[in-house]
Every structure is written in structure tokens, then in C-alpha cells.
Amino acid sequence: MSDVVTLGECMAVLYPPDPVSLDEARTLLIDIGGAEANLAIALCRLGHSARFISRVGDDPFGRRVRAVLSTEGVDTSALLIDPEAPTGVFFREWLADGARRVYYYRRNSAASRITPDDLTPAQFNGARIVHLTGITPALSASCAAACERAIELARAAGALVSFDPNFRPRLWSASQARDTLLPLMRAADILLIGHEDAQALLEVDSDDDALTAAAALGAQVVVLKCAERGAHALANGQHITTPAYPVRQVVDPVGAGDGFDAGFLAGWLRGWSMSDSLALGARIGAAAVETLGDYAGYPRV
């Protein structure tokens, strides 16, 4: 049994060890990355248990994904091998001026072939939270259907549904995303949304309007992540705010939102107050940006 079950795509990621463009790089580092896998790693480092449901190819990248997740303590028993499709890959640039560019090679990847049949009730038994993001349903119709099935299985297992829309313009337009993501957001018990995603999906500008619009979708708890401006939450009619955690130097912002989600959910799993849960989320998110790599900066307990 795992405290948290999550579903999504984990890819191989390659990036230069120094802040240079890919066309200038002579050497690339290789690691893994993906929103849901990042969250699972962060939770395990915080002392909780997490299961990751996905598919990888029968290739070196897929073997690396499984090995890294297993080493981090993530339950990979539901990580299937697809012999007919490759593991997704992406490349990242991190430049001295702060620019970050990502190049995805994930079309028709193994994870894009996830189906509802890959999910079983046993995978959800004992889970307290099932966490999903809006990246997974953007990959394919079968992935979107799998997310809907995951919510059904979460309800049957008595678990809460946590959802982060994680809107990715490279995967689909805002209007396309709204059609698919708004129903999933309405099904969430805990809605974790970045301020930029709120602007795109809820068509609002201010933080107050974003919180109000998100809460109107029906979640018990709504968290609005505002990066260096901290975070806000609405729960039981109360508005709680936490400042951003101090950051010595921003090296790589990738993985900060996933780390925040993990920290907040860890606080909830421990029965902490909303304020303390938000503060832990801010701390984990801040730790992520100080280190190169999707999950390298997440602290261990």
C-alpha cells in the first residue's frame, strides 16, 4: 500500500552541465524527469510512500527510469514495459541569462499508450491521495480516459483526488485544455494550481479572482501557487497565505511546482495545519530551484 498513487509520464532528460545552448554543448548529462515522477520522488524523500503508474519502452531510457525511481523508494510495480513504443525523451537548455528552453520527443511514446485497462483496483488499495496532473490527459485520448478511471478507482478506495492542471501550451491550446481539464478539476478534492495556469484556464487575472474561480469548481481545498510571491489557499471558508521560502540562487526552476505539491500533500498526510502544509510546500519548491535537475534539490528527511 502507498500513501499516494500517481499516474503520468516519466522521460529521460538530457542537458548540458554548463549554462550553454544545446547547439554549443559538447557534453550532455542524462537523468529522468516528469511532473508525477518528480512528486513521487519528493514524497519518498519526505518519508512517505508513493506508487507511480505508467509505461516505459523496452529500452535503456526505460530501464533508467525504473532504476532511478526504485532507488528513490518509489513503488514501480505498476510501471509497465511497452515493447512496441519508446520511452519519451526531452532536452533542456539552461542559460546564464535565466532563459530555459525545452525540446520534447514524446509523440507516440510508451506513456502516451497508457489506457484505463492498465489501472486495477489493487493499485489503489490503501491510498490516501491519488494525484493527477493535466499533462497526462494531454498526451492522448487513452491517457485522458485513464485519468478518469483513476478518479473512479480513487473514489472506490476512499482516497482523496489531488489535481494540478499543469497546463503545457506545447501540448495543446488553452481552449482544448479547458474542455478536458475543467471536468477533472471539478472532480478534485485538492486543487493545486499555478497562477499562470489559472490565468490561462480560468481566464482571470488577479490572485483573488483565481482563488474564487478555482474554488467555485468545487474542491475542498484550493491552493494557488504564485512562485516568488508565495502561495494562497482557500479551505473551509478561510483564506491562508504563506510567503515564498528564501532562495539563495535560482539555478533551475524546473520541478519547483511538483516539489511544492509534494510538500503540501506531505503536510496534509501528517495532519498538519493548512498554514504549515503551505510552508512545507514553499520550502520544497524553493529547494528545487537551487539545484540543476528536475528533482535533485528535493531534501531528504
**Whose CA is closest to 144, among 133, 155, 136, 152?**
136
Instruction: Put the strands of the sheet holding 89-94 in their side by side order.
Output: 29-33, 11-15, 89-94, 100-105
pLDDT tens for 105-115 read 999 999 999 99
CA distance 38 to 201: 23
pLDDT at site 279 = 98
Distance, CA of 130 to chain centre: 12
Q: Cβ(129)–Cβ(268) under 8 Å?
A: yes
Q: Cβ(133)–Cβ(163) under 8 Å?
A: yes
Q: 294 pLDDT exceeds 80?
A: yes
Residue 95: pLDDT band (50, 70, 90) is: confident
**DSSP characters over 133-172:** ETHHHHH-HHHHHHHHHHHHHHHHHTPEEEEE----TTTS
Q: Which residues are catalytic?
A: 258
Query: What average pLDDT does range 206-227 have in this prediction?
Result: 96
Q: 99 pLDDT exceeds 90?
A: no
Q: 85 pLDDT exceeds 90?
A: yes
Stretch (H or E) spanning 298: none
